[in-house]
Structures are given as structure tokens and as C-alpha cells.
Amino acid sequence: MPCMLIDPSQKYGPYVPLKLDNRQWPTKTVTKAPIWLSTDLRDGNQALACPMTSEQKLTFFRLLVKCGFKEIEIAFPSASDTDFSFVRYLIENNEIPDDVWIQVLTPAREDLIRRSFESVVGAKHVIMHMYNALCPMFRNVVFRNSKAQTIELATRHTKLIRELADQYATSHGMKFRYEYSPETFTQTELEFSLEVCEAVKEVWGKAGPGIDRIIFNLPATVEVAPPNHYADQIEYFCAHISEREKVIISLHPHNDRGTAIAAAELAVLGGADRVEGCLFGNGERTGNVDLVTLALNLYTQGITPYLDFSDIQEVIDVVTSCNNIPVHPRHPYAGELVFTAFSGSHQDAIKKGFEAQDIRHVKNAANGESQMWDMPYMPLDPADLGCTYEAVIRVNAQSGKAGIAYLVKQHLQLDLPRKMQIAFYKVIQDISDREAREVTIEDITTAFRQTYHFGGPNYEGRLVLRSFHITAEPSPHSTNDDGEPSDERRRFDGTISVDGVLRVIRGDGNGPISALIDALRTHLEIDVTLREYLEHGVGGGQDSKAASYIELVATTDDVKETRRASESWWGVGLDSDIVASGLRAVLSAVNGVIGDRELPELKLSIGSNVTCDKSHVSDVIINALGLELPRRLQASFFEVVQRKTHESDGKISHDDLSRLFQDTYGYEVEDKGKFSLGDFHFERVDGGGPLFKGEMEIEGVVRKVTGEGNGPLSAAIDALLSQVEGTLSCREYSEHAVGEGSDVKAVSFVELVYESPGAAKKEAAWGLGSDTDITASGIRAALRAASRLDVVVKKA
Ligand SMILES: CC(=O)SCCNC(=O)CCNC(=O)[C@H](O)C(C)(C)COP(=O)(O)OP(=O)(O)OC[C@H]1O[C@@H](n2cnc3c(N)ncnc32)[C@H](O)[C@@H]1OP(=O)(O)O
Ligand SMILES: CC(C)C(=O)C(=O)O
């Protein structure tokens, strides 16, 4: 069975290096783009098992024009009717822009040359491209021609092309240029290639400077030597061809050794002016040189390529749908994975690179300097090709903390502290190890939200901050240990939801965070110590928020041991108020600390009932006052009760409880409150709702007010609104009857929401009203609720 040889020299010989003294190309650098010719519609097309249909060729042609190609080889028209008709279609349907030269390929055969000319009749600018192979193998085996016969074949057909070009130029006003390809150039004796090209040039006889230059296209028909050898051959040819100024030297590299890009780049240094190739390197066998890569290699050196791949995805889509060959995921610049880092150290460098670049760009912009791209592992800004940064970092088991932190920052705007990055990395690593797959951005953000109970009601933990007040308290010690005046202390007084039950907790500390930690210790037996606290701003302007990060450790008897504890819990908080953001971060971490652990029950006793909850409180109100509290009012009052009973260790009598209720919501009490109702009536407005007209006593002064609404209550609230700054709205309303017979009256429950002008937060309060008239009872309840809010009254 055949296999690879131990000694391959028995089968394959080395290329023969060119003896080129004083070669120039190694010390040259490229400074401008070559002329490009796309041979996708000829060479690429011929290399497909199913050549393109006319529709596909047309779509491809339009793409090439859009990308900026000014020379396009559109067909081998004598090869098939499809190719011939395609050329006709482009010409007859004015598809070819005036500044684009179409090129057609023909062998050195009279019938095929004539047919090729027939195909291009009517085109404005045509490059006639003729080829014949020159190397010994082709001379001896394929053509069975001597050197002289080979030259004669090339010159005889060049002469014919010249005659036909003159003829068609005269008869059809067309402009022709001529390209001659000494096929198999790189395998041919250099002197012989030169001899043939000189002869062709002479017979063509029309080579001149500028646009009249004859094109000698020197193909690496099969790539059989390293790229430096091609560069040597091109430099030699450029140096020895006569009338160099009347010649365009063109390259046509194939990729058999996988070095077509290098060969083209070095051969351009060797003196070539033009490159023929295909998009993404399609073409016979291993393909032609890839023009996308060549152009973008120039671009990333700061050289304008004069080809536009700003929408690389569109280019990929068109090319792959026409060729039916996918672009390799690792294809330079275009592959799905080329702007993606999976591995940890790469991600780390990219994250740091972006951060440093952002800072540098701001500085450069301020100094009027250019915003140079300089990023680890990324030679090109994906945005230049219409790609987003979305896929730059992707996560699997090879990834590290920095990449994950980068994605959290991108998608949640949170710049995690280093130690928290490490903590969260473990969470993600567990997922990727367990599931042995790529971890998506959605996986990461969901895991983050779940771990830190971050991002709305769906992710709430067992403990949730509902409301709080921080007050300053004088320190019990007038001086500290150094004899300096002691700072004020802070008191946290807030409501948190604990497993769905509102709990009022209080605590003291040096600052709001330590006060909350103290409250958690006192009321819920959660004993933790703060180890690290960091915060940063998120967003700007009115919508800016503060993000806080907290690390907690379990408190031990030994302070040093506590600080050194290996187990810790991180939390995150985001809020427009920096204090609230820190407090949320504490609860986020505490949710991690408590896990499923049982928390001590609320100690609230009403009368002799020792463990009461909000339903017991509501029962007392029903029994004492006959009021059926709406569900949310029950929760709100339960909070009031807890706050009231703090000083009495959670104890309250039945009577005190009903009095507390009446005083709080203004139910059947003497005190009228800040807003109270005088005489009023409603009028009907044509086509509208009721119009409230009446008197309201506001801060002791009677005002005449009017207001419109969909119903009586909203009209009255509108009248009230006309007297205050900010906005007021009704969040909940309910009512029921109390009493019997002639004593029956309506009791209304109203929750109002108030937003004072410029206030970041809304305030809400309940109020109660009772009256024999149900409308009056509702309005009284609303005014009572307003009395409990910090409403700013307009000047009378
Ligand atoms: C390196 C390249 O990519 S070059 C472009 C290759 N593209 C094509 O070949 C296009 C598709 N080809 C075709 O459609 C056909 O080959 C045609 C229409 C061009 C010619 O078809 P046929 O006349 O049947 O010839 P066939 O396909 O067998 O080609 C071989 C003949 O052409 C000759 N020949 C090969 N290249 C050339 C050339 N550049 N100039 C002149 N004759 C040539 C061969 O010597 C051989 O001649 P022979 O029959 O006298 O021995
Ligand atoms: C016709 C020539 C230029 C060719 O396609 C080749 O040599 O690969």
C-alpha cells in the first residue's frame, strides 16, 4: 500500500533558487495598494463542481462593483453558453459602471478568440486576456511544442487580438487593453518567459504609458516554491523586461503550499503593480490568493486598500451563497471566530486593552490626536467591518475571570472588583464544567442575577430592602481614642421583606452599612462583618446610578480571624441613591450568607397573643372598628405597628393598636389633617366627566378649588393637585359600608402616590374617610392620605 516515503527526495526535487545578487525586495515596505482584479467570476467559477448560474454571477458581479473593484474578469466566454450569455447580459443591461474594466479570458486559439470578441461587443472598457503555458512540462507534454513554436503560438494570437481589437474599437467605439499570461510562469525558465513576453509586447505594438500599458500577468499556476522565490522571480522580471513604464506586472498566485498571501505580498515588494485573486481565496484546488485578506492586511497597516469591506457579513453571505462553499470559521478577518477569545489570558488582555484604549482615546481626543487602534490579540477593530463587539469574548471551560467580568460589564454595566470577579468566575466555571459547553451571555447574566439576587422581582432573594431612613445620631463618646471629636453615628430604620413578610428593623453604626449590619444582627441573628466595599457610577446625567459591591464574612470571636476568613460572600447593589445602593449590596451578600437557614420569627404580641402576624393585626381592626383592610393596607399597617412597638419589645394592647390605626390613617379622629374637605358639589361638563367645585381647607386656610376627572374621586384629586407642586395619583381605592340601619355609613380606603418636583423617588400613603355619602367618604380618604405625605403646597 502506498504511503509517505522515508526519503521523499527519491520522489520529489527541491525548487531551484534564483541566483539574484543584491535583491531589493527584502528591505522594501509597501506604501500603497496594488491594482486589484477579481477573477471570481472566471477562475473561481471554473473551480466549482456546479459553476454559478447567471443569476448568481450577476449577484456576485454587483457585489464586486459595490466593494470597489475597477477590474473584474467576468468570464471565459468561449467556454460555455452560460458564460457567453452572462457577458452579453451585463453589457446589454448596462450593469457595468463606466469606470470598471471587464476582462475576459481566452486561450491562444483563433476560434475561441473570435468568440470572445463577439461576447464583448458594445462594452466600453475591455481587457482581452490571453494565456498559453510556457514551462518545459507543458511544452513537451501538453502542447508538444518547441520554444520557438511556443513563442509563435503566443505572438500569432496576440497579432489576431490586436487586429480584432482595432477592428472592434473602430466599429463599436470600444476601448481595449491587452493582458498576456505566460501560464506556469513560476515553473518556466525566467529568461524564456522574458523572451516570450518581449515578443508579445512587440507584436501587440500598442504598449504605452498609463492606461495603455500592456499587462503581463505572471501566474504561480501551481505554487511550487516558497514566497521569497516568487518575489525573486518577479523582481528579476521587473528588472529585465524592456520599457518597464509601458508594462503592468500582475500577480496571479495560487495557494498550493498555503503561502499565496505571503507570495503576493513579497512579490508586490518585488515590483508587481497588480494582483489577481478571489474573495476568500476561492479557485482551482487550494484556491487563488484571497483578496479580502490582502486588502485588509494593508488596511491594518494604515494603507487605504481601495476595497470596501465595511459590511463583511454581506460579502460573506453573497460569496458563500454563490460558491456554495462556507468561509472557514478561522478565516482571517471574516471567519466567525476571528474576533473571538475563549481563553482566559487572552480575554484578560483584551479587557485591559479596551479599558486602556478608552482612556487613551479620551486623552487623544482632548489633544486633537488620532485615535490609534492598539489592542492585544486584535489587529483590527471589528466595528470597521460592521461587526459588533458582542462575540469578542466567549466563555467555555478555558476562560478566566477577566473574560467573564468583561461580559458582565458589557451587558450589566457592572465593573466587578477583582475579588468578586474571582468569586463569580467559580460560579461560571461550575456551569461550563458541568455542562461541557460554551456558556452563553444569557447564561452568564442569568447566573449573575441568580447568584447576587440582582435585577428585579424575578431574582429577589429572601431578604429585600423595601424602605429605609438613615438618621444621624450624636456619638455616645465625645472624643475618639486619639482625643479627636468623634464622628456622628448613623441609625438605620427600615423595612425589609423577609421571606415575603415585611419586617421593620433598626440598627446603629458608624455609617449606613454598619447600621444595617447591626440591624440584621439584632433582629435576624445574622452576624456578619464587612470586609470590602467599593462603588462606581453607572451611566450619566439624570439616569446615573451607583453600583456598590460588598464582601461579607461571618463574624467570629477573634477579630483577626474574622478578617482572614477564607469563606466570604459578595453582593451587589444598584440604585440612583448611593446609600440605597450600598444597603442593597449588603442584602445581596446576606442572601448568600443565609442560604436556606431558618431565620428567627418576628416577635410581635398583641394583647396576650404572643406571635402575631399581619392577619392578626387586621383581625383586631375588624373586631374593634369593623373595618376590612385592603391587603396592601394590612401590610402597610403591620409595618407601622412594628415600628411603634420597637421600644416596647414588640408588645401592644388591643386598644393601643386600634388607636394607632385611627391616628395613623385619620379614621374618626378630631385632628383634621393638613388637607380637609368643605362644601362641594359636582357639575357635568358637556362630553366630559364630572367637574368638582368646592372648598378645601389647606394648612388652615380655606381655598376654593375646581377639578375635572373621569369620576368624582379623580375630579377631587385633580382639584387638590391644582393646589400642590408635583404630581399626585391614586394607586388603590376601595370602600365598604359599616354600621346598620340609619347609622350606616361608607368607609373609603385610598392610597395616594406623590412625586414632588425634582424628587428621585415617589412617596405613597394610605388614608381613610367615612361619611354617609360615599363620594364624600372617598374624597376625605384621599385628603387624609395627602395629609400624611410631604406634599408641597402652592402659595395661595
Ligand atoms: C490555468 C487556468 O485556469 S486557464 C483557464 C482554464 N479554463 C478553461 O479551461 C475553461 C474551460 N475550458 C473549456 O471550456 C475547454 O477546455 C475549451 C472550450 C477552452 C477548449 O475545449 P476543447 O477544444 O475541447 O479542448 P480541451 O478542453 O480538450 O483542451 C485541451 C486542448 O487545448 C490546448 N490548450 C490548452 N491550453 C491552451 C492555450 N492556453 N492556448 C491554446 N491551446 C491550449 C491543449 O494543448 C489541448 O490541445 P489538443 O487537443 O490539440 O491536444
Ligand atoms: C490563465 C492563468 C493566468 C491562470 O489562471 C493560472 O495560471 O492559474
| 154 and 279 assigned to the same domain | yes
- R_g of the chain computed on alpha carbons: 42
Give the orientation angle of helix 401-412 with respect to helix 441-452, to 10 degrees: 80
State the Cα angle at 179 between 199 and 297, rounded to 5°.
125
Q: What is the mean pLDDT of each run of 10 residues along the chain (796 residues)?
A: 92 95 97 98 95 96 98 97 97 98 98 98 98 98 98 98 98 98 98 98 98 98 98 98 98 98 98 98 98 98 98 97 96 94 90 94 95 95 90 84 92 96 94 88 96 92 95 73 73 93 92 97 95 94 92 88 85 96 98 95 80 84 94 92 87 93 94 94 87 96 95 96 95 94 93 85 91 96 96 90
- Best of 43, 138, 178 for a ligand 2 pocket test (most atoms within 8 Å of beta carbon): 43
Question: Based on the domain organization, do 655 and 698 belong to the same domain?
Answer: no
Residues 579 and 708 in one domain: no
Q: Which residue has the cell 479627636?
A: 484
Protein residue with its CA nearest to atom 18 in ligand 1: 79
**Are residue 253 and residue 157 in the same domain, yes or no?**
yes
Mutate which of 48, 142, 282 for ligand 1? The one with the most ligand atoms within 8 Å of its CB, which is 142
ipTM field: 0.95
- What is the reported pLDDT for 479? 64
- Sorted by sequence, the CB contacts under 8 Å of residue 347 that are 6+ apart come out as 341, 393, 399, 400, 402, 403, 404, 406
Q: Is residue 250 domain-shared with residue 151, that is, in the same domain?
A: yes
What is the DSSP secondary structure assignment for residue 793, as one 8-state letter? B
| 109 Cβ below 6 A of ligand 1 | yes
Is residue 234, in this structure, part of any structural domain at all? yes
Same domain, yes or no, for 535 and 423? no
Residue with cell 492598539: 374
The finding on whether 43 has its CB within 6 A of some atom of ligand 2 is: yes
Same domain as 64, residue 189: yes
Tell which atom from ligand 1 comes closest to the C-alpha of 79.
Answer: 14
For 378, left (φ over 0), alpha (ψ -120 to 50), or beta?
A: beta
- Among 452, 469, 495, where does a domain finish? 452
Say if residue 524 is in the same domain as residue 615: no
Please tell me the distance between residue 132's alpha carbon and the centre of ligand 1 in angstroms.
9
108: Cβ below 6 Å to ligand 1? yes
Say if ligand 2 is within 6 A of residue 235 CB.
no
- Torsion angle of alpha carbons 655, 497, 493, 726, nearest 10°? -90
Would the CB of 135 count as within 6 Å of ligand 1?
A: no
Domain count, the chain: 5
Pocket test for ligand 2, best of 252, 256, 278, 284 (most atoms within 8 A of CB): 252
- Give domain status of residue 348, yes or no: yes
Paired sense of beta strands 101-107 and 214-220, if any: unpaired
Nearest CA to ligand 2 atom 6: 221
Give the dihedral sign, CA 213/214/220/221. positive
Which amino acid, residue 426? K
* CA 368-372-375 angle, 5° bins: 145
Half-sphere exposure of 57 (CA within 13 A, CB side): 29
How many whole angstroms from 277 Cα to the centroid of ligand 1? Answer: 21
The Cα–Cα gap between 288 and 278 comes to 6
Residue 490 belongs to some domain of the structure: yes
Ligand 1 pocket residue status of 142, Cβ below 6 Å: yes
Domain annotation covers residue 228: yes
Residues 187 and 98 in one domain: yes
Q: What CATH number is given to the structural domain containing 704?
A: 3.30.160.270
For residue 610, give every residue at least 6 positions away whose Cβ sits within 8 Å of its Cβ, in sequence order, or none. Answer: none
What is the DSSP secondary structure assignment for residue 42, as one 8-state letter? I
Class of residue 55 by CB neighbours under 10 A (exposed 0-12, middle 13-18, buried 19+): exposed
**Three-class DSSP category at 240:** helix
**221 in ligand 2 pocket by Cβ < 6 Å?**
yes
**E-state strands within 76-156:** 101-107, 125-133
Q: Is residue 541 part of a domain?
A: yes
3-state SS, one letter per residue, for 627-693: CCCCHHHHHHHHHHHHHHCCCCCCEECHHHHHHHHHHHHCCCCCCCCCEEEEEEEEEECCCCCEEEE
- How far is ligand 2, taken at its centre, from the CA of residue 221, in Å? 5
Closest CA to ligand 1's atom 50? 143
**DSSP letter string, 480-538:** -TTSSBPPPEEEEEEEEEETTEEEEEEEEESSHHHHHHHHHHHHH---EEEEEEEEEEE
User: Which protein residue has the closest C-alpha to ligand 2 atom 2?
Assistant: 183
User: Residue 441 class from Cβ within 10 Å (0-12 exposed, 13-18 middle, 19+ buried)?
Assistant: middle
Q: Nearest ligand, CA of residue 81?
A: 1
Indicate whether 183 and 206 sit together in one domain. Answer: yes
Question: Ligand 2 mean position to 113 CA, how many Å?
Answer: 16
Grid cell listed for 745:
355609613
24 inside domain? no
Range of the domain at 395: 344-452
774 in a structural domain: yes
Cβ contact 568:551 at 8 Å: yes
Domain boundary among the residues 665, 683, 712 is at 665
124 Cα to the center of ligand 2, angstroms: 25
Q: Is 145 in the pocket of ligand 1 (CB under 6 A)?
A: no
How far, in Å, CA of 462 to CA of 498, rounded?
6
Distance 296 CA to ligand 2 centre (A): 24
DSSP notation for 45-59: HHTSSSPPPHHHHHH
Within a 10 A sphere around the Cβ of 365, how many other Cβ atoms? Answer: 11
Residue that terminates a domain, selected from 620, 636, 665: 665
Which of 378, 330, 388 has its CA nearest to residue 350?
378
148 CA to centre of ligand 1 in angstroms: 20
Phi-psi region of 354 (alpha: psi -120 to 50; beta: other; left: phi over 0): alpha
Same domain, yes or no, for 715 and 634? no
Q: Which residues pair with 549 in a beta bridge?
A: 534, 572
Distance 141 CA to ligand 1 centre (A): 14
Q: Does the C-beta of 276 come closer than 6 Å to ligand 2?
A: no
pLDDT value of position 486? 65
* Å from CA of 236 to ligand 1 middle: 30
> Considering the domain boundaries, does residue 331 fall inside one?
no
The predicted structure's pLDDT at residue 233: 98
H or E element at residue 546: strand 545-554
| pLDDT at residue number 291 | 98
If you take atom 12 of ligand 1, which residue's CA is the nearest one?
Answer: 79
Q: Given the CA of residue 142, which atom of ligand 1 is nearest to it? A: 45
Same domain, 655 and 690: no
